[in-house]
Amino acid sequence: MYEKIQATAAWLKEKMPSNPTTAIILGTGLGRLAEEIEISLAIEYKDIPNFPISTVEGHSGQFIFGKLGGVDIIAMKGRFHYYEGYSMQEVTFPIRVMYELGIRTLFVSNAAGGMNPGFKIGDLMVITDHINFFPEHPLRGKNYPTGPRFPDMHETYDPALIKLAGQIAREKKIRLQYGVYVGVQGPTFETPAEYRMYRTLGGDTVGMSTVPEVIVAHHCGIRTFGISVVTDLGGFDNPVEVSHEEVQEAADKAQPIMTEIMREMIVRSEKLKHEKNEQYNTDHPTETWKSQK
């Protein structure tokens, strides 16, 4: 697999119009952000050697190189979900490729069920931590040389970026929630008892993506920031049915604020990177591990 990653990265490197260090995965509810990107190159997943192909309805697959608010980025339009039948190696393949291309900061979004009784449909929740309920671990198997065999998982979601989101939300008067995302395999939504269980265990939202990609990014020393858009509510006294269409609709409604906050995050985190260059690059646990090696 490592050879495949290197080969795909080499293939993309030849075509890359710039050298971005920031990437964004445009999950449900972030499609509109793609329209704001000044695209210099878009490649269909099916045309990239070794890339899995996205199959789920409503998720078109494209790797986009361009600028957002003046910042060079890679945007992944469409992602690979475990429930579609991909292996964990396939789900996280693009993250490993992007690391090889020089990506060091990753922004992710997802649609999720809200379990915190204080949440409303359409709320945005900054992910401060996660609980991994996927049945297979993305780092299972031979360890990749990008990080340690037994990675520390504190500060998996970058505290500086979480703080920055709070500042932006205050300025723009956007209501933000904070909490723990529970990653599950799906494709069923949760039973009422499952929502209650995940809530009891400390979860605030639950969804079928993000956790595998974030674990691999963290193992590579990539700084990560994630937001859930709460598209349905579960686990309360009056269970309400949920459908894919409702999830899509709620995510679409939240698009303008999601777009606004992610665009600002990308632009300002780039500044932060330059301002705090030394510290920003070395105080990350995985970076520290690498420099000690």
Note the residues at the interface with ligand HPA (CB under 6 A).
111-113, 189-190, 206-208, 231-232, 234, 242, 247
22-26 vs 105-114, strand pairing mode: parallel
Decide whether 33 or 206 has the Cβ nearer to ligand HPA: 206
DSSP 220: T
Q: Cα 47 vs. chain centroid, distance in angstroms? A: 23
Report the half-sphere exposure of 70 (CA within 13 A, side-chain side): 6
In the complex, least distance from residue 59 CB atom to ligand HPA, rounded to whole angstroms:
13
CB of 83 to ligand HPA, least distance (A): 10
Measured from the CB atom, the residue of 17 and 187 that comes closer to ligand HPA is: 187
- The answer to whether the Cα torsion of 288, 73, 182, 166 is positive or negative is positive
> Contact, 181 vs 112, CB < 8 A?
yes
Min CB(121)–ligand HPA separation in Å: 10
- Whole-number minimum distance, CB 210 to ligand HPA, in Å? 10
Nearest distance from C-beta of residue 86 to ligand HPA, angstroms: 17
Look at the block and give the residue holding tokens 């003046």. Answer: 70
Which two three-digit tokens encode residue 235? 């686990």
Cis geometry, peptide bond prior to residue 187 (ω within 30 degrees of 0): yes
The nearer residue to ligand HPA, 69 or 192, going by C-beta atoms, is: 192
Q: Which is nearer to ligand HPA, 230 or 257 (CB)?
A: 230
Percentages helix, strand, coil for the chain (3-state, rounded to 5) are: 40, 25, 40
Encoded amino acid at 177, one letter: Q
| Minimum distance from residue 90 beta carbon to ligand HPA (Å) | 20
Phi, then psi, of 168 in degrees rounded to 5: -65, -45
Closer residue to ligand HPA, CB minimum distance, 211 or 262: 211
Minimum Å distance from CB 96 to ligand HPA? 25
**Measured between alpha carbons, how far is 126 from 166 in angstroms, rounded to an integer?**
9
Min dist CB 46 to ligand HPA, Å, is 26
Task: State the residue number with the nearest CB to ligand HPA.
Answer: 113
Query: What is the pairing mode between strands 176-183 and 205-207?
Result: parallel
Nearer to ligand HPA, 103 or 111 (CB): 111
Closest CA to 111 of 232, 260, 236, 256: 232
φ, ψ of residue 179 to 5 degrees: the values are: 175, -170
Nearer to ligand HPA, 109 or 286 (CB): 109
- Of the pair 10, 193, the CB lying nearest ligand HPA is at 193
